[in-house]
Amino acid sequence: MSIAIELAQRIAAVKFEDLSHDAVHWAKVGVLDTVGVTLAGCGEETARLAALALGAGTGPSQLFGTDRRVNALDAAVINGAASHALDFDDCNNTFGGHPSAPVLSALFALADEIGATGREFIAAYVAGFETETKIALAVNFHHYMKGWHPTATLGVFGSAAACARLLKLDAQQTAVALAAAVSFASGVKSNFGTMMKPLHVGHCARNGLFAARLAREGYTANTASAFEHKQGFFEVFNGEGTYDAAKILPAWGNPWDIVEPGIAIKQYPCCGSTHPAIDAMLALVREHDLKPADVERIESWTHTRRLEHTNRPNPQSALDAKFSVQYCLARALIDRKVAIDQFEGDAYKDARTREVTSRVHAAAYTTAQFPADNHFGAEVKVTLKNGAVLVHKVDQPYGRTSKNPLTRELLKEKFVNCAVRALSTDTVEQLYTAIDSLETIGNVTEVSALTAPHHKNAARTAVAATA
């Protein structure tokens, strides 16, 4: 049995008509959230500098939040970096990372190049999401703990699968795209807290699209054993005895991962591993009307896997602050919220925040606090200066699974707050409406055109590019 070939057969068979109502609903939620956070991040240095380094020229694919169109591969890199620049994009419990940004950054770039209906776009997105999460099922969480960044190392397969589906590649061509993506997989967690982390998304989005285009042109790759070979993906990236490839195929579409456990929509623009502690901290702040002057000490416990990259008591940059549970909890106490502006410019240097951060102490929780299979909980204990002790626990962040979703109102509020950083309020409302009815859209370029500040001109360019 070849994993690449078996997966390819399933990817090539995905049709919109076969998707459940729930799958379509969650796909539109993922598109909405990803477009919003990409617009919010499009002006960040990680995207701007990537565009400069690429020397991106003109082409058919829209750069979100700008009036520029570039070639599809460059658009995938730049939009991908923007989508993850604020670390505000969605997560998934199976994946151990951010599943939508790698897939959608590639899909929008490709759809602008070749044209696609909303239904074709949704089907391709679900296929890509399913591919990366089912491969994740086989390799996590050893893969994650070893130091790989699954958003990139697994996201490249989601990107390749989605683009293969949108290109209408047959099963053999799709298998080539997946096998090629094995050689394109990369991204390590040592670069968390720097511009490289969001660039991981752009890089894997571009590589997945490139893999699918190579397959379309007749390229060859080891479809028989790119994953299973003794020097293939599983053995090289995980190692003997640390993966279970047998988990992948039986779980395909049973259920669709985009439905269950579903998309985890982030409420805060920082590393998702800090979110349960933030939820707990904000609950205490609101319930007890806490003020920084009241607090002597804050103690936070999260899962050891999450603490490894969030135990940063002295963040040295705005990006570094996104991975500091200490900084995030200090901001939650001081500002009674955690928002985008707290991670911009020199906000991390704020003297008052630094002082409160020094009172926050982080540790890994034990099985006495949470069950061994709970990787998403947090406990926060606040000791007040009057000697009182307050404690709050959460099993998982709000919005973490489809069984605990954010309300439609909160989803729209987040989208609007993100998108207005790049677009007018009128355009934001048009874009929201277009995504909300994505399955009725005749050409997805109508949606991407709305991500340009002067979208009327962008729309004419899009029509010309796909004519």
pLDDT in tens, 227-254: 999 999 999 999 999 999 999 999 999 9
Residue 451 maps to a domain: no
Report yes or no on 424 lying in a domain. no
Report the pLDDT value the prediction gives residue 192, as an integer from 0 to 100.
94
pTM: 0.92
Domain end residue (candidates: 370, 394, 418): 394
Mean pLDDT of 189-199: 96
CA gap 130, 108 in Å, rounded? 18
Mean pLDDT estimate for the chain = 95
> Per the domain annotation, does 414 fall within a domain?
no
Q: Are 81 and 198 in contact (CB under 8 A)?
A: yes
Query: Is 353 in the same domain as 232?
Result: no
Q: How confident is the model at residue 52 (pLDDT cuts 50, 70, 90)?
A: very high
**Per-residue pLDDT for 436 more than 70?**
yes
Identify whether 341 is part of a domain. Answer: yes
For the chain, how many structural domains are there in total?
Answer: 2
Q: How confident is the model at residue 462 (pLDDT cuts 50, 70, 90)?
A: very low
Domain co-membership, 155 together with 297:
no
Is the Cβ–Cβ distance between 330 and 418 less than 8 Å?
no
Q: Is residue 345 part of a domain?
A: yes
- At 375, is the pLDDT very low, low, confident or very high (cuts 50, 70, 90)? confident
The pLDDT value given to residue 466: 35
Long-range contacts of 47-55, Cβ-Cβ distance < 8 Å, separation of 24 or more = 47/78, 47/79, 47/81, 47/82, 47/85, 47/198, 47/202, 49/195, 50/77, 50/78, 50/81, 50/199, 50/202, 51/78, 54/78
pLDDT at 465 over 60: no
Q: How confident is the model at residue 72 (pLDDT cuts 50, 70, 90)?
A: very high
At which of 361, 394, 427 does a domain end? 394
User: What does the pLDDT look like over 101-142, one tens digit per residue?
Assistant: 999 999 999 999 999 999 999 999 999 999 999 999 999 999
Tell me if 443 is assigned to some domain: no
- Averaged over 436-441, what is the pLDDT? 98
* CA angle at 110 for the pair 9 and 128, rounded to the nearest 5°: 35
Flag whether 460 is in a domain: no
Claim to verify: residue 252 and residue 276 sit in the same structural domain: no
For residues 240 and 160, state if they share a domain: yes
pLDDT higher than 50, residue 459: no
Q: What is the CATH number of the domain that holds 81?
A: 1.10.4100.10
61 and 146 in one domain?
yes
Residue 136 token pair: 């994740």
pLDDT at 460: 35
**Which tens digit of pLDDT belongs to each residue from 33-42?**
999 999 999 9
**Tens digit of pLDDT for each residue in 262-315?**
999 999 999 999 999 999 999 999 999 999 999 999 999 999 989 999 999 999
Q: What is the CATH number of the domain that holds 360?
A: 3.30.1330.120
Q: What is the mean pLDDT of residues 374-403?
A: 95
164 inside domain: yes
Span 406-421, average pLDDT: 96
Instruction: Give the pLDDT score at 200.
Output: 98
Residues 124 and 146 in one domain: yes
> pLDDT at position 454, please?
82
Looking at the fold, whether 233 and 283 belong to one and the same domain comes out as no
Judge if 201 and 309 occupy the same domain. no
Banded model confidence at residue 56, pLDDT cuts 50, 70, 90? confident
Confidence band (pLDDT; 50, 70, 90) for 153? very high
Per-residue pLDDT for 467 more than 50?
no
Of 137-146, 187-196, 450-459, which gets the smallest average pLDDT?
Answer: 450-459
Examine the fold and report which residue of 335, 367, 394 is the final residue of a domain before the chain moves on: 394
What does the pLDDT read at residue 382? 98
Q: What is the mean pLDDT of residues 311-340?
A: 96
Judge contact between 411 and 395, C-beta under 8 A.
no
Question: Do 245 and 277 sit in the same domain of this protein?
Answer: no
Mean per-residue pLDDT for 354-365?
Answer: 98
**283 and 230 assigned to the same domain:** no
**Residues of the chain above pLDDT 90, percent:** 94
For residue 358, pLDDT over 70 is answered with yes
314 and 349 in contact (C-beta within 8 Å)?
no
Whether 240 and 282 map to the same domain: the answer is no
Does 387 lie in the same domain as 327?
yes
Under 8 Å between Cβ of 167 and 212 = yes
Domain residue limits at 298: 272-394
55 exposed, middle or buried (CB, 10 Å; 0-12, 13-18, 19+)? exposed
